[in-house]
Amino acid sequence: MRKSVVLLSLLLFLTLPAFAGYFDLALTLGTNVHMFEKDLDPSRMKMAWGASVGLTDVWEFDVQVDTQLVPTFFGSSSISLVGQKALLGQRSTGSSTAGVGINTLVGAGVMISPYTSEGTLGISHLLLTLTPLTVGSPVTGKRERLFALTLAYNLSNQKFALLFDLVKYDFYAIGTYRDYR
Collapsed DSSP state (helix, strand, coil) of residue 53? strand
List 121, 142, 155, 179, residue binding other proteins (CB under 8 A):
142
Is residue 71 within the footprint of other proteins (CB under 8 A)? Answer: yes
For 80, half-sphere exposure in the C-beta direction (CA atoms, 13 angstrom radius) is 30
Phi, psi of 3, deg, nearest 5: -60, -40
> Candidates 7-15, 112-120, 123-131, 161-169 — which segment interacts with other proteins by CB under 8 A?
161-169
> Candidates 2-10, 63-71, 77-85, 150-158 — which segment interacts with other proteins by CB under 8 A?
63-71
List 141, 145, 148, 152, residue binding other proteins (CB under 8 A):
141
Is residue 101 within the footprint of other proteins (CB under 8 A)? Answer: no
Q: Which x/- pattern, by CB under 8 A, does the window 29-58 give for other proteins?
A: x-x-x----x---x-xx-x-----------
Question: How would you write 110-158 as a 3-class SS string?
Answer: EEEECCCCCCCCEEEEEEEEEEEEEEEECCCCEEEEEEEEEEEEECCCC
Task: Please say which residue, 33 or 126, places its beta carbon nearer to other proteins.
Answer: 33
Task: Please say which residue, 118 or 144, places its beta carbon nearer to other proteins.
Answer: 144
* 3 C-beta neighbours (distance < 10 Å), count: 7
Q: Please tell me the count of residues contacting other proteins according to CB under 8 A.
A: 20
Contact 115, 37 (CB under 8 A): yes
Contact 54, 60 (CB under 8 A): yes
Is residue 77 within the footprint of other proteins (CB under 8 A)? Answer: no
- Least spacing, CB of residue 73 vs other proteins, in Å: 8
Phi, psi of 174, deg, nearest 5: -130, 140
Query: Helix, strand, coil shares of the chain as percentages rounded to 5?
Result: 10, 55, 30
Residues at the site binding other proteins, with contacts judged by CB under 8 A: 29, 31, 33, 38, 42, 44-45, 47, 69-71, 73, 136, 140-142, 166-167, 169, 171
